Structure 1
Amino acid sequence: MKDFLQAIVDILAVLFGDAPQRPRPPRPLPPALPPAAPLPPRADPAEPQDASDVGGEDAIVVSHEAEPPRDTNGPEFDLDPLPAPDDGNSPPLSPDDRPRGPVPPAPEYRARYLWCIDNGHGALTAGKRSPILEDGRQLFEYEFNRAVTARIFAQLDRIGVAYFNVVPEVQVGNFLTERVDRANRLSSALPKIFVSVHANAGPAASEQDFTDDRVRGIETWYYHGSQTGRALAAVFQRHLIAHTGLVNRHLRSKVTGQFYVLRATRMPAILTENGFFNNRFELPLLLSDAFRQQVADAHVQAILEVEREGV
């Protein structure tokens, strides 16, 4: 009866413009989600992991100490820190001095950037070679770098992406200053991006000794303080790990003693280190055509993502 009388009062209140203001009962909370399933164990829990395997794909490993040059054929690193070289523009070359440009894009593809692809090192670079395997095979880094970049160029030609082969010569050394100068001087109506392709080497007693088994995987370097470089490096690192399945050594930068090709280029720049040629497990991979194609495919997919999405 009490509820019936209250309903009559409410109807009369609405008719005469005095609707009651009673608090609404709280809505019940949705049921809690079930706990997430535990992650599966690693395929090989006994396998030693690199100390930098510490997070997601965009984890950053920053060194605060200058790294010494890796060989005596020119300075591998530059000790003069400068602001991030993202916004610099270089004066155009005269037609007679202008380096030979990339293959013109296909009509159906509208290029967004000009990719300066640097294959890092030449046949005259001191060191940069692996220990010799029992079957007599040995990796020379300049040859690996050129094998990967040749595969990249072939795909970019078919698609129509604009690119510039920074060092087509083979009989050169580190060629550091000229590599950077060529990219900086290159006249382009498109924004330029610099990508240097390398294989890595870990600490070892000599060229004929392998590094520690735990020193393995792929890392991508960018100029410390460059947000554009960091974003660019993250795209390449993600594709490289997805395509190769190697240990993720993450994004890397140096506060001092930065790579010369990252510091001196007046454009966003990154450097990829695609496995260790003095790791006894990764050396056979780096010598294989299949792995080199995987590395090239990863670079191309990263380039196409940046072409679509920008950086």
Structure 2
Amino acid sequence: MVLRVMFLLLWLLCPKISWAGDTLGKVVIDPGHGGYDPGAIRKGVMEKHINLAIAQEIGKILKENHVQVRLTRDGDYNLAVPGLHGRDAKRYDIERRIELAQKFGADAVVSIHVNVGRRKCSGAETFYHRQSLRGKLLAESIQRELSGIPYINKRVVKTGSYYILRRTEMPCVIVETGFLNNPQEREKLLDKKYQQMLARAIAKGVINYLQVKDKESEKI
């Protein structure tokens, strides 16, 4: 109860995101896993449900700020075809998500996940492909906002060679919103108000990136 009251107060004190200009761009939000693939599981808590809840909230905030948004899934399913299993199913699923982003003409892709690590690990972190300069800009923009969440463990951006990062043509990042195997963080990740705080930080990072991406990438 104390945790919920704390996050409610913090949420009410958070400044509102506001963009009054024209359409900022197109963004695909990818709630990782889904359907047969639960992602990480700890104490009966499935990653896929947390990913979807946060992704839907991000999409809502971005739409309110004149960003065109597409989610790769809006329910408990994935994009693999029946009959595929294991690695083949996973690759097919991710390829369909990438294809969706390409057809949508996305300016950026943000894939939402939950981490697993050492028991004491905590905090959110953002990954980008080392060869993507704009991916790095997007990751840094999101991570700055995540680090501003009160009491969160401040982590840094990292490079990764995940399939979706390698194969997506437009800037793409993976946001690991917390560590499911950490009991305290798992409790927070299940809290609606904390999910909203994460979503607001990620959305603000995306908006900031869309506002400056062309200008900043020219400096690199």
Same fold, judged at TM 0.5 (above): yes
Pair member with larger Rg: 1
Q: Which amino acid aligns with 2:172?
A: A
SS at 2:177 equivalent:
strand
Q: Which amino acid aligns with 1:299?
A: I
2:156 to 228, 244, 250: 250
Note if 1:284 corresponds to 2:190: no
1:223 to 115, 121, 129: 129
Q: How does 1:41-60 map to 2 (within 5 A)?
A: none
8 A Cα contact 2:146 2:201, kept in partner = yes
1: CA distance between counterparts of 2:130 and 2:156?
14
Runs of 4+ in 1 over 4 A off after TM superposition: none
**Deviation at 1:142?**
0.9
Q: What's 1:72 paired with?
A: none
8 A Cα contact 1:220 1:233, kept in partner = yes
- Residues paired across the two proteins, number: 183
2:113 to 172, 179, 198: 198
Q: Deviations over 1:153-209 (max 9, x none)?
A: 2222322211111223422275212111211233x4xx621111111111xxxxxxx
Q: What's 2:66 paired with?
A: 160
2: CA distance between counterparts of 1:297 and 1:269?
18
State the TM-score, normalized to the length of structure 1: 0.55
2: CA distance between counterparts of 1:259 and 1:171?
21
Q: What's 1:18 paired with?
A: none
- 5+ residue gaps, structure 1, are 1-107, 133-137, 203-210
Instruction: Supply the RMSD in Å over aligned alpha carbons.
Output: 1.9
Note if 1:111 corresponds to 2:18: no
2: CA distance between counterparts of 1:222 and 1:244?
24
Percent identity (aligned): 26
Q: What's 2:33 paired with?
A: 121
8 A Cα contact 1:244 1:294, kept in partner = no
Note if 1:296 corresponds to 2:210: no
**More helix by proportion, 1 or 2?**
2
1: CA distance between counterparts of 2:108 and 2:65?
18
- 5+ residue gaps, structure 2, are 1-19, 81-89
State the TM-score, normalized to the length of structure 2: 0.76
